[in-house]
Amino acid sequence: MFFKIHDNATIGYKLLSDADLGKSFGNTTHIGLLSETFDFSSQYHKETSSQLIYKQTTMEVISFLDYIQNPNGSYRSPKIRSARNAELLLYPNRTSVVRKIREIASNENPSEWFLLWFGLENEELVFLLIKKDTEDYQEIVSIIGELKRNDTIKTTSSSFPKVINFLNTKVNTLNFSYIEELELLAQTHQEELKHRIKPKRYDIEKAQKLFQKIGKKGEELVNEHLAKLKVANQIKNFIWVNKSNESGFPYDFEITNNSNQLIYSDAKSTSYKFEQKIIFSFQELKFIQQNNNYLIHRVYGLNETPKLRICNNIETISHDFVNELNTFSTKVKQTGLNLNSMKVSINPNYKTLKFENEIIL
């Protein structure tokens, strides 16, 4: 699982009152939380991007946190505020977790509402809004029993591992599209995403480390596949150029076929579906343009059953792209600027590309 609950986080929950839901005459602007549930944090949060989960949807919201400061400098009695309109101007397209909770509750039939919260390894706060007698409510109750007005689910509780598994699974399932995008972000270093306004730096760094492992695993699987072809006399020989360490070459394998022709191959791997975009560097595409004997070994589904499809006409992309980029680069140089590097994402289903049938690895 990409997201995990912080090892030191305490899971808290409470029954939301009319005041919490903004239904009382007192015009309460906050929802009070339990103090010990924020001890995992390495820094004092004041305004932080968070997730609000309701049913099968996760929403990116802002937590506006206030505390009472103790004489010794520590903090207690945390509460999340609805926030002033002026404060929200700093966060376009997002609202506060309190405002969103109240909006959801006001559009539903009257019921009891519970709020459960915890922190992730990246210290992001997650709030799970639970309406009584819904699927989430029944799941939580089946694990820990009837919910109290407010309480914590302690690590010493026999039900704690089941709660952790339920929450980790829910967070990862609802963030699946975001995690897919992080795999691409790990390769392109661009932070423009569809499923998250601003990714956490922790998430990006974790995705980069994970993708290094994915790339290595994909190469290992291609190496095993080529070894089988060699034993079956379908190829004469091959060399895994990155076996010991990263070579820096614009390919991963040198393959000698039975006609003594040298063929280059690059393993392009993903944990996800075949259709996940493939990332190429300009250097790779330029090499492909100059060497049409180039294969793409597309390894996918690494989180489940790894599969392979091979493309032998990637040059149909490289010829057009490299020519256009060279023209553009020349024009840019005329202004006194230079293009130093560029990444290109390509959908494997692009109309000119031809992939062979799927192979189970």
Residue where a domain terminates, one of 174, 205, 228: 174
| Nearest-10 crossing angle of helices 282-290, 315-333 | 120
Report the number of distinct structural domains present in the chain.
2
Residue 42, pLDDT score: 62
- Considering the domain architecture, whether residues 160 and 15 belong to the same structural domain is answered as yes
Q: Is residue 192 part of a domain?
A: no
The pLDDT value recorded for residue 207 is 94
Whether residues 221 and 111 share a domain: the answer is no
Considering the domain architecture, whether residues 154 and 274 belong to the same structural domain is answered as no
Band the pLDDT of 127: cuts 50, 70, 90: very high
Q: Does the residue 194 lie in any domain?
A: no
Q: Is residue 300 part of a domain?
A: yes
Q: C-alpha distances in angstroms, 205 versus 113, 180, 186, 308? A: 36, 14, 8, 27
163/287 same-domain check: no
DSSP 42: S
pLDDT in tens, 248-284: 899 999 999 999 999 999 999 999 999 999 999 888 9
Position 203 in a domain: no
Domain identity same for 144 and 231: no
| Domain match, 123 and 271 both | no
Residues 165 and 270 in one domain: no
Q: Is the pLDDT of residue 45 over 70?
A: no
In this structure, the answer to whether residues 77 and 130 fall within a common structural domain is yes
pLDDT in tens, 183-227: 999 998 776 678 788 788 899 999 999 999 999 999 999 999 999
Q: Where are the alpha helices (DSSP H) in the chain?
A: 85-88, 97-106, 135-144, 160-174, 176-188, 201-231, 282-290, 315-333
Residue 286 within a domain: yes
Same structural domain for residues 67 and 159?
A: yes
Residue 275 lies in domain: 214-360
Task: Please indicate, yes or no, whether residues 149 and 54 belong to a single structural domain of this protein.
Answer: yes
Q: Does residue 19 belong to any structural domain of this protein? A: yes
pTM value? 0.87
What per-residue confidence (pLDDT) applies to 199?
84
